[in-house]
Structure 1
Amino acid sequence: MDQNNGRRVVLFPLPIQGCINPMFQMAKILHSKGFSITVIHTRFNAPKASSHPLFTFLEIQDGLSETDIRTDDNTWLFTLLNRRCEASFRECLTKLLGSSDSETGEKKQMISCLIHDSGWTFTGSVAESLKLPRLVLNVYTVSYFRSHFALPKLRREVNLLSQDSDQDDVVQEFPPLRKKDLVRLLKEKREYLEPYLNMILESTKSSSGIIFVMSCEELDQDSLPKAREEFKVPIFAIGPSHSKFPASSSSLFTQDETCIPWLDKQEDRSVIYVSFGSLASMTGPELIEIACGLRNSGQPFLLVVRVGSVKGTEWIEAIPEELMAKVNEKGKIVKWAPQQEVLKHRAIGGFLTHNGMNSVVESICEGVPMICLPCFWDQFLYARLVSDVWRVGLHLEHRIERNEIESAIRRLLFGSEGEAIRERMTLLKDKVERSVEENGSAYRSLESLIDHISSF
């Protein structure tokens, strides 16, 4: 760690796992560069302060009820959070800026800036009123973030798209999404989508800069110049930092550490790891199809089934006893796994994933080819990047069927097709690794970000 530079940065993550991990990786990077860190967070999905003893944590009221947090509509949940957190956030930040050290009475360290998740839209007016520079941390790829503002317009046309016979055609306004992906992406009722996206766009354009923690020139080469032209604020594509700053300490779930000893007993590149992230859900019949496909492949597998993720059941009760006995012969089912440790294990041969960007980037960083089964939102685009653009995985084309899953596993692990995928993945992994090394594109972008923050 660099010597403390006398400056403090305030971070404000959106309270979902896929946004908390990148924010804490950002915090660890800044702390390693000499900045002190204060994290303002909601009571809902509060991070574990004990896992980060070098950071200061301040909790604010979020006003969410039990009914609110059970909603399946994330756009509505984020809209509620923005409505109900503004007053408590303003009070907290105002007090922080004006506070003195309780022991010495001296002024605390200079606060350089606020870094908040792009999903917080009220922060612009608060920071401006307090004359505090503000950076937006973005957990999407540059390509998705640029294109997703077209979703309200595309949503109005989705009925026409669903009747289109050319469902495999690429959506011109949103490549490399295909029309059938867009229909699925927009099928959920999201009446708050357009106003929420408009607020995100306005908040981002009025910021002092955008940090893309999941992107680097090697992954977003075509989109970065266009984004700089469109947003007209400094953009920092600092790339994945997973190898240097693991996300496990910021997990909201208890990780089953028995995964690693189990993997130690398996052969190299033989295990299929299966996880659908912190938000996705499935039906009982879908879980059975996945379990059967894994079992029928004949390969050992590690299956993560989050508590409450199977509709109508608490955990894996939907799997019949006879099938469970067969599953246990080759597989292991856990409620949550230390994903980065799992993916870097020598036994992992493939990753059946929902294609959340954290998972995609972690898989690339460890050189693990993927089988794509996206569930919602940005995952549809990342699945196409994996299967159609980078060509480092196979796409199930939204078919949760045992025969399709078994076939995809065999294609990925055996034969010339799987070998070609692994070769391309190795090349992509190497490119991304070079980007974060000294003089790489992400390394240079991070150095520019540190200079930018230090200039405030």
Structure 2
Amino acid sequence: MDSPHVVILPFPAQGHIKPMLMLAELLSQAGFTISFVNNEQSHRRLDQAAFRRRCPGIEFLSIPDGLPPDHPRTGPSTVDLFFSTNTVSKPIFKNLIASMSRPPPACIISDGIMSFAIDVAADLGIPAITFRTFSATCTWTYFHLQKLIQEGEIPVLQGSDEDMDKLISCIPGLENIMRRRDLPQICRLDPENPILKFYVTESSKMTKASALILNTFEELEAPAISHLRTIFPAVYAIGPLQTASKSSAASYNSSSLLQIDQSCLSWLDSQPSRSVLYVSFGSVIVLNRDQFMEFWFGLVNSEKSFLWAIRPDMIWDENGPSKVPEELIMGATERGRIVGWAPQEDVLAHDAVAGFLTHSGWNSTLESISVGKPMICWPVIADQQVNSRCVSEMWKVGMDMKDICDRSTVEKLVRDLMEGRREDIMKSTVEIAGLAQDSVREGGSSDRNIKKLIEDIKLLHSTKNASRTIID
């Protein structure tokens, strides 16, 4: 019998492409044929050769995303992709899938915010599975956006600390955890805002999928996963994906759309154990010059060594992206090191690294959890506010400084983390890292879920083959 053919469609951003590529590798290692469909820009930037060497069963395809070639597709302009892909990419994707006959797809696995693929799958009679690249807790929160609007919790207006710290009571399971300031950043928008409407619509359309895949593990988010099982016929918690795949380090590096500076690993080799703070705000977040300077002086004043990944487009002024002042780069050489982009998993796993100052993106959060490195969280957009609250209050593996950006706070939290002043955090990071590793070992919860996903896709494939035989 021919091997199952799976089509995978990520949202065209680094943080979405990476976990879906890791899933593609796992399915390829199980003998599946994979068609991985990127937008044209990501398709050109991805190191496809590295994946083909490890997984010859993965074919990379591309479709246009509807934006001009010179569109930045990063920072604040990333949201333009929400609307262009739905209008321009949808019919092209449908034609691409309809033309596949070697063999026809057993299923389509699409990003949770590319749910037009679920419509395409329904039109073509193909099962659809949705992959939400957020945490289970944040995914559950997004399913309550409409209820939050009805309850008057949206828009969250920046008021007093008392107003912002009021607990949210209409999300089951999170009544004593989530405050107004911890809701996703889009909850600070007017209910009529197109971006908020987009997420409400996408969350609703996800429920038409036959199953949900999450890059998390049962032991970390059991309550939220249980709630999501009331919405979907099947939920597969298969993370942390970076530890589930045997070729995870290679997967991470070759899934990067940015040029990685490997030299920072040699620099870390020369540093004492647990002496360096790793700093990265991910592949999309931008800082204005004032914010950048507050972080800079907070780090310098802490008198701790740091490694900071600063993308060329990370700092913005009124005219767009701007460079790091040369004098700051020169001044970093005494205690710190600046790189354009780092091999993050290797950095976080390095013995010299004691902790992580992060934007709380889900990939970064899960990578830090997996290697037992505590976090200082400064969330900005999307799921990051929810993640940072989970880190500080639910899992106790870090500290949350959302809605604050001043050098004195940065200095204090860096000292607290680097000097081990929070014993509760240090204890939790070790315990949860152990659970993360156990989940992907033979017989662990994620290992079982991955195997169940593979078997269920094989069943879809055999059912489709049987139907085709009867028709023939």
TM-score, L = length of structure 1: 0.90
Where does residue 445 of structure 1 map in the other structure? 449
The Cα of 1:397 is off from its aligned counterpart by 3.6
Say whether 1:353 aligns with 2:358: yes
Where does residue 106 of structure 2 map in the other structure? 112
Aligned residue for 1:59, secondary structure, equals: strand
Choose 46-55 or 16-25, whichever is displaced more: 46-55
The answer for unaligned runs of 5 or more in structure 2 is 461-472
Whole-Å Cα distance in 1 between the matches of residues 372 and 454 of structure 2? 29
The Cα of 1:143 is off from its aligned counterpart by 1.8
The 1:397/1:32 distance shift into structure 2, 3 A limit, reads same
Say whether 1:122 aligns with 2:116: yes
CA displacement 1:199-256 (0-9 Å, x = unmatched): 323432221211112x221111111222111x14211111212123232211000001
The 1:268/1:71 distance shift into structure 2, 3 A limit, reads closer
CA displacement 1:114-165 (0-9 Å, x = unmatched): 1111111211222122221111111112221122133355355445754463
- Correspondence for 2:382 among 360, 368, 377: 377
Say whether 1:261 aligns with 2:266: yes
Where does residue 285 of structure 1 map in the other structure? 290
Whole-Å Cα distance in 1 between the matches of residues 357 and 339 of structure 2? 15
AA aligned opposite 2:145: L
Q: How does 1:395-414 map to 2 (within 5 A)?
A: 395-414=400-419
- Correspondence for 1:93 among 76, 93, 97: 97
Whole-Å Cα distance in 1 between the matches of residues 320 and 50 of structure 2? 28
Where does residue 202 of structure 2 map in the other structure? 200
Contact 1:143 1:220 in 2 (8 A): yes
AA aligned opposite 2:121: A
The Cα of 1:437 is off from its aligned counterpart by 1.2
Choose 337-346 or 108-117, whichever is displaced more: 108-117
Where does residue 179 of structure 2 map in the other structure? 178
Whole-Å Cα distance in 2 between the matches of residues 348 and 239 of structure 1? 23
Whole-Å Cα distance in 2 between the matches of residues 233 and 80 of structure 1? 30
Where does residue 454 of structure 1 map in the other structure? 458
Where does residue 50 of structure 2 map in the other structure? 51
The Cα of 1:188 is off from its aligned counterpart by 5.0
Where does residue 342 of structure 1 map in the other structure? 347
AA aligned opposite 1:27: A
Whole-Å Cα distance in 1 between the matches of residues 141 and 427 of structure 2? 30
The answer for unaligned runs of 5 or more in structure 1 is 98-107
- Correspondence for 2:193 among 191, 194, 202: 191
Contact 2:184 2:383 in 1 (8 A): no
Contact 1:5 1:35 in 2 (8 A): no
AA aligned opposite 2:85: L
The 1:253/1:196 distance shift into structure 2, 3 A limit, reads same
The Cα of 1:45 is off from its aligned counterpart by 2.5
Where does residue 216 of structure 1 map in the other structure? 217
Contact 1:161 1:183 in 2 (8 A): no
Aligned residue for 1:398, secondary structure, equals: coil
Contact 2:184 2:382 in 1 (8 A): no
Whole-Å Cα distance in 1 between the matches of residues 217 and 142 of structure 2? 19
The 1:390/1:82 distance shift into structure 2, 3 A limit, reads same
Contact 2:130 2:212 in 1 (8 A): yes
Whole-Å Cα distance in 1 between the matches of residues 139 and 359 of structure 2? 19
Where does residue 31 of structure 1 map in the other structure? 28
Whole-Å Cα distance in 2 between the matches of residues 324 and 318 of structure 1? 7
CA displacement 1:39-82 (0-9 Å, x = unmatched): 12211322332232122112112221245836725444212211
- Correspondence for 2:432 among 417, 428, 432: 428
Whole-Å Cα distance in 1 between the matches of residues 199 and 386 of structure 2? 17
Whole-Å Cα distance in 2 between the matches of residues 131 and 86 of structure 1? 16
Whole-Å Cα distance in 1 between the matches of residues 303 and 94 of structure 2? 56
AA aligned opposite 1:424: S
Q: How many residues end up aligned between the 2 structures? A: 439
Whole-Å Cα distance in 1 between the matches of residues 75 and 434 of structure 2? 40
CA displacement 1:419-442 (0-9 Å, x = unmatched): 331121000000111111122111
Contact 1:11 1:38 in 2 (8 A): yes
Say whether 1:240 aligns with 2:230: no
Whole-Å Cα distance in 2 between the matches of residues 389 and 324 of structure 1? 37
The 1:57/1:329 distance shift into structure 2, 3 A limit, reads same
Whole-Å Cα distance in 1 between the matches of residues 239 and 199 of structure 2? 24
Whole-Å Cα distance in 2 between the matches of residues 125 and 39 of structure 1? 18
Say whether 1:169 aligns with 2:173: no
- Correspondence for 2:39 among 38, 42, 54: 42
The Cα of 1:377 is off from its aligned counterpart by 1.6
Whole-Å Cα distance in 2 between the matches of residues 352 and 256 of structure 1? 19
The Cα of 1:346 is off from its aligned counterpart by 0.6
The Cα of 1:187 is off from its aligned counterpart by 3.2
TM-score, L = length of structure 2: 0.87
Whole-Å Cα distance in 2 between the matches of residues 81 and 160 of structure 1? 28
The Cα of 1:392 is off from its aligned counterpart by 0.8
The 1:74/1:172 distance shift into structure 2, 3 A limit, reads farther
Contact 1:121 1:199 in 2 (8 A): no
Where does residue 103 of structure 1 map in the other structure? none
Contact 1:273 1:301 in 2 (8 A): yes
The Cα of 1:307 is off from its aligned counterpart by 1.0
The Cα of 1:293 is off from its aligned counterpart by 1.2
Whole-Å Cα distance in 1 between the matches of residues 350 and 156 of structure 2? 46
CA displacement 1:6-31 (0-9 Å, x = unmatched): 22211111110110001001001101
Aligned residue for 1:218, secondary structure, equals: helix
Contact 2:110 2:118 in 1 (8 A): no
The Cα of 1:263 is off from its aligned counterpart by 0.4
Aligned residue for 2:354, secondary structure, equals: strand
AA aligned opposite 1:48: D
The 1:166/1:415 distance shift into structure 2, 3 A limit, reads same
The Cα of 1:85 is off from its aligned counterpart by 0.3
Choose 118-127 or 68-77, whichever is displaced more: 68-77
Contact 1:9 1:113 in 2 (8 A): yes
Say whether 1:326 aligns with 2:320: no
The Cα of 1:334 is off from its aligned counterpart by 0.9
Aligned residue for 1:449, secondary structure, equals: helix
Aligned residue for 1:72, secondary structure, equals: helix
AA aligned opposite 2:304: Q
The Cα of 1:314 is off from its aligned counterpart by 7.6
Q: What is the root-mean-square deviation of aligned Cα atoms in Å?
A: 2.3
- Correspondence for 1:148 among 142, 156, 167: 142
- Correspondence for 1:60 among 58, 63, 72: 63
CA displacement 1:354-378 (0-9 Å, x = unmatched): 0000000000111111011111121
